[in-house]
Amino acid sequence: MIIVLKADTEASSPEVRRLIAQAESYPDVHTELHRIQGATRSVTEVYLLGHTGVIPTEPFEEHACVEKVVRVTEKYRAIGRHAGGVDAVGFEYNGVRISQETLHVVPGLCAVDNRENVDQMFAALAGHGLQTARAGAYKPRTSPYDFQGLGQECLPWVFERAGHHGIRIVAMEVTHEAHVEQIQRALEASGNATGVLLQIGTRNAQNFELLKAVGQQTELPVLFKRGMGITLEESINACEYVASGGNRRIIFCLRGMKTNLGDPHRNFVDFSHVPVVKRLTRLPVCVDPSHSVGSRALAPDGLMDVYHVTAQGIIAGANLVLVDFHPHPEEALCDGPQALLMEELPHFLEDVAIVRRAYEDRLARAKQDD
Ligand code: PEP
Ligand code: MN
């Protein structure tokens, strides 16, 4: 059961303490207090855990500080919508608001290779008013002989350059708990020049110990990528591990499914699941067109497949677009063939804006029938 408190309620007030004492007076029931700093408002929720099935909701609804009481379904307790019972409030991180309503483009290097490319990338993004970028330092590769990423060695200059160009969030995959600590230390040493969105890659979608580790720290938000060969339900359950650890600042990312049925795309594009994830969970939804399509293939209409699937994600309401760019893709140490070129950035961003406007028009039209 979740008790959602009214917006201005002080979590430490005597009223809330009375509410918690009342909840804990039921046998085998304990509570957890969660404050979610949303994109537009903050929400405080009291979670009742244990044998709550027999507890009536009315005694709690009578408290003046209570907005509503929601019976949770067994599934996705922390990230679920519970049949629309709880709102998707989103979150703010390092001055950037991210929710099921906002849209951010997160272009950048699949893998950090050298300082010049990182600097050129961040400068170009900043030039277009972007504050979000991707830059991988730890790369999980199919072959042990492939480039594994520069690791912690590159963090000081990646963060320094990000800060210099006003990039506020760098999405960066972690494959081991130790990477989280290395990132936290390097961020601190940089004077928190920027912020980091910890990316859980598709290969680690069910690495439960890693999910617990990123979930037990609440300093850095998490971008969880759907597992490539498991069901959506299994992926959302795995994502729940992050939230159940205490970290509620999570983004769910669709990146295509591994099956030959998607050929010639690298993965079978699954962006039709954007509204599904928004309905089932409270999480903002990201799409990754680069790892879905995996090439720069051009359609006869003059638009690359990457542009087309990006549009498919946005027209369906996606909140972030994680996309590979590289100043010199032929020299890239990872995923060069799918990277867009820096000179393509203006067209890509215009295309995103065109589709977003169409999505907003669709929403306005749908509201007329409400
Ligand atoms: C990536 O974004 O760099 C990546 C490796 O993606 P995925 O985990 O979706 O394959
Ligand atoms: Mn990649």
pLDDT recorded at residue 222:
98
51 and 133 fall within a common domain: no
- The reply to whether ligand 1 has any atom less than 6 angstroms from the CB of 221 is no
281: number of Cβ within 10 Å: 22
Cα 16 to ligand 2 centre (Å): 47
The reply to whether 197 and 304 lie within a common domain is yes
AA letter at 202: T
| Contact predicate 44/17, CB 8 Å | no
In a domain, 77, yes or no: no
How many Cβ atoms from other residues are within 10 Å of residue 150's Cβ?
A: 19
Per-residue model confidence (pLDDT) at position 370: 78
> What pLDDT does 180 receive?
98
Please state the atom number of ligand 1 nearest to the C-alpha of residue 226. Answer: 9
Work out the pLDDT band at 169, boundaries 50, 70, 90: very high
Predicted confidence at residue 183, as pLDDT, reads: 98
Residues 207, 259, single domain; the answer is: yes
Question: Of all atoms in ligand 1, which is nearest to the CA of residue 255?
Answer: 9
Cβ of 255 closer than 6 Å to ligand 1, yes or no, is yes
| Domain shared by 124 and 238, yes or no | yes
Q: Is the CB of 202 under 6 A from ligand 1?
A: yes
- In this structure, the dihedral spanned by the alpha carbons of residues 297, 299, 305 and 310, taken in order and rounded to 10 degrees, is 150
**H/E stretch holding 96:** strand 96-98
Examine the domain organization and report whether 231 and 174 are in the same domain: yes
pLDDT tens, 52-101?
888 999 999 999 999 999 988 778 989 999 888 888 989 999 999 999 99
Instruction: Determine, yes or no, domain membership for 98.
Output: no
Residues 31 and 107 in one domain: no
Do 42 and 128 lie in a common domain?
Answer: no
User: Does one domain contain both 19 and 109?
Assistant: no
Query: Could you tell me the CA-to-CA distances from 18 to 25, 28, 45 in Å, in that order?
Result: 11, 18, 14
pLDDT in tens, 181-217: 999 999 999 999 999 999 999 999 999 999 999 999 9
pLDDT at residue 83 in the model: 85
For residue 256, give the ligand 1 atom closest to its CA: 9
Using pLDDT thresholds of 50, 70 and 90, give the confidence band for residue 178. very high
Sequence-distant (6+) residues with CB within 8 A of 186 are 152, 155, 156, 159
CATH number at residue 40: 3.30.70.1140
Ligand 1 mutation pick, 113, 170, 172, 202, max ligand atoms within 8 A of CB: 202
Among all bound ligands, the one having the nearest atom to the CA of 107 is: 1
Nearest CA to ligand 1 atom 10: 202
Assess if residue 65 is contained within a domain. yes
Residue 112 lies in a domain: yes
State in Å: Cα 220 to ligand 2 middle: 21
* Chain position carrying tokens 């950035």: 345
Q: What pLDDT digit, counting tens, does each position of 108-126 carry?
A: 999 999 999 999 999 999 9
Q: Is 226 in the pocket of ligand 1 (CB under 6 A)?
A: no
Distance CA 370, CA 366 (A): 7
pLDDT at 174: 98
Residue from 363, 317, 325, 368 nearest 347 by CA: 325
Residue among 113, 170, 199 to mutate when testing ligand 1 (max atoms within 8 A of CB):
199
- One domain for residues 149 and 20: no
State in Å: Cα 332 to ligand 2 middle. 11
Same domain, 208 and 277: yes
Same structural domain, 44 and 124: no
pLDDT grade for 39, boundaries at 50, 70 and 90: low
Average pLDDT of the segment spanning 271-296: 98
List the domain range (segments joined by +) for residue 57. Answer: 2-70
- 225, 230, 268, 324, best to mutate for ligand 1 pocket (most atoms within 8 Å of CB): 225
- Residue 53 pLDDT: 84
> Residue 222 domain-assigned?
yes
Q: What is the CATH number of the domain that holds 233?
A: 3.20.20.70
154 and 30 together in one domain: no
Atom of ligand 1 nearest to the CA of 201: 8
| Ligand positioned closest to the Cα atom of 333 | 2
Residue 43 has pLDDT above 90, yes or no: no
For residues 26 and 152, give the distance between their C-alpha atoms in angstroms, rounded to a whole number. Answer: 49
Q: Give the number of other Cβ atoms within 10 Å of residue 1's Cβ.
A: 20
- Give the mean pLDDT of 256-274: 98
Would you state the pLDDT for residue 122? 98
Q: Looking at the domain assignment, is residue 94 inside a domain?
A: no
Give me the chain's average pLDDT, please. Answer: 95
Least confident of 78-82, 303-307, 311-315, 354-358: 78-82
Please give the average per-residue pLDDT across 147-157, as a whole number.
97
172, burial (CB in 10 Å: exposed 0-12, middle 13-18, buried 19+): buried
| Atom 8 of ligand 1, residue of closest alpha carbon | 201
**Closest Cα to atom 5 of ligand 1:** 201
CA angle 322, 336, 104 (to 5 degrees): 15
What secondary structure does DSSP assign to 148-169, as a single string? ---GGGGHHHHHHHHHHTT--E
Residue 64 belongs to a domain: yes
**What's the total number of domains in the chain?**
2
Please list the alpha-helical segments (H only) found in the chain: 14-24, 58-61, 115-127, 155-164, 177-189, 208-216, 232-244, 274-280, 289-293, 305-315, 345-368
Q: Which of 288, 293, 320, 338 to mutate to test the pocket of ligand 1 (most atoms within 8 A of CB)?
A: 288
Average pLDDT over residues 174-187: 98
Whether 253 is in a domain gets the answer yes
